[in-house]
Amino acid sequence: MSALVIRDLSVRLKKGPPLLRRVPLDLAAGEVRGLVGESGAGKSMIGKAVLGILPPSVEITGGEILLEGTDLLRLPPKERRRRIGATCALIPQDPLTALNPSHRIGPQITDRLVDILGWTRPAADARARELLAEVQIADPDRVLRSYPHELSGGMRQRILIASAFAAEPRLIVADEPTTALDVTVQKQILRLIAGMQARHGTAILFVTHDLGVVSKVCQRLSVLYSGMVVEDSTVADFFAAPRHPYSAALLAATPKYTDPAAGLNPVPDAVIDAVRAEVAAFDRGAPHG
């Protein structure tokens, strides 16, 4: 069964322009799907809509978000929140701001287990230690007693990853989890996420603007432009032969580690004009809201 199915999801700025245009998406259990696009294309918006953390200035105007068969948008708010808390998790972008500065690390990993899932405190503590060991943190006991400001950025990102896997969720939204990190740390963290994913078999929605990252950790990907999915294919197919001209241009614009001398090829204006026309045609054909 699919972990997540999204049908026709439309989101817009309140009384403003659309941000997502009837987005379709499906994610099999244990699968990793990349969501790529330029900034503002709406890729993080999808993850936020799934997790119920859209900013107040934004509203969902239509569509379904089926989490293991249940439409989240039809659930009463409290139950939706609980269900998301019990079955989903977020790996945030910036590890420096995603931990509460006035709580110790321990409770920030175990709070969901105890408060939402009803674990006993000793069981949750044991689980936290086990997870920290799994993300290769030496001396988990000391770290659990630390405050965030006492730890490095890479360390904090490891903790956030451990915390995301704590409740064995079916779905994790990873929102550009390596963008804020040093290049050297990026690779380790990426490898860590991939390893954790393989061991736990969790489906991941991997939001990123970096096609290199997609090629390393994802099986499928969706390319977004202006809130519209322009391509949905497997990673292998995409890198062999992208179907949409915009995704082809995006791929060409990505610097290649194998051939740095090739230089950068910005997306050509003609391609942008074409994809814009496509969006406009879509808006005319299928009025949103």
Partner 1 sequence: MPILRILLLRLLTTIVTLAGVAVIVFVVIRIVPGNPIAMMLPPGATEEDIARLTALYGLDKSIPEQFAIWVAGVLQGDFGTSITTRQPVLDLVLGRLPATLELSIMALVMAMILGGAAALTGTRFRGGRTEGAIDVANGMALSVPDFLWGLILILLFGVLMPVFHISGRVTPSLDLPFATNFYLFESLIRLRFDLWADIVAHMFMPALALAIPLAAIIGQLLKQSLKETMNLDYVTLARTKGYGETRVILREALRNAALPTLTLVGVQFTFLIGGTVIIERLFSYEGLGNMAIDAVINRDLPLIQGIVLLFAAIFTAVNLIVDLLYAVLNPRLRHA
| Residues in contact with partner 1 by the rule CB under 8 A | 51-53, 56, 78, 81-86, 88-90, 92-94, 97-102, 111-112, 115-116, 147, 149-150, 160
Residue whose CB is less far from partner 1, 88 or 192: 88
Residue whose CB is less far from partner 1, 7 or 83: 83
Task: Determine the residue type at 127.
Answer: R
**What's the closest the beta carbon of residue 83 comes to partner 1, in angstroms?**
8
Q: Residue 27 in contact with residue 2, Cβ under 8 Å?
A: yes
3-class SS of residue 74: helix
The string over 208-218, giving b where at least 16 C-beta atoms fall within 10 Å of a residue's C-beta and e elsewhere, is bbbbebbeebb
**What's the closest the beta carbon of residue 167 comes to partner 1, in angstroms?**
9
Place of tokens 């950068």: 264
**In DSSP terms, which residues pair with 174 in a beta bridge?**
91, 206
**What's the closest the beta carbon of residue 266 comes to partner 1, in angstroms?**
31
Bridge pairing between strands 88-91 and 171-175: parallel
**What's the closest the beta carbon of residue 103 comes to partner 1, in angstroms?**
8
Per 3-state DSSP, the chain is made up of helix, strand and coil in percentages (nearest 5) of 45, 25, 30
Residue whose CB is less far from partner 1, 53 or 277: 53
Residue whose CB is less far from partner 1, 207 or 229: 207
Residue whose CB is less far from partner 1, 12 or 22: 12
CA–CA gap between residue 233 and residue 86 (Å, rounded): 30
**What's the closest the beta carbon of residue 93 comes to partner 1, in angstroms?**
8
**What's the closest the beta carbon of residue 72 comes to partner 1, in angstroms?**
13
Q: Residue 108 in contact with residue 123, Cβ under 8 Å?
A: no
**What's the closest the beta carbon of residue 248 comes to partner 1, in angstroms?**
34
Alpha helices in the chain (DSSP H): 43-51, 77-87, 105-115, 121-134, 140-145, 153-165, 183-200, 211-217, 235-240, 245-253, 269-285
Residue whose CB is less far from partner 1, 82 or 209: 82
Q: How many CB atoms lie within 10 A of CB 234?
A: 13
Residue whose CB is less far from partner 1, 4 or 84: 84
Residue whose CB is less far from partner 1, 116 or 272: 116
Written as six digits, the tokens of 250 are 């995006």
Beginning with the edge strand found earlier in the chain, give each strand of the sheet holding 70-71 in spatial order. 18-28, 2-13, 58-67, 70-71
**What's the closest the beta carbon of residue 234 comes to partner 1, in angstroms?**
28
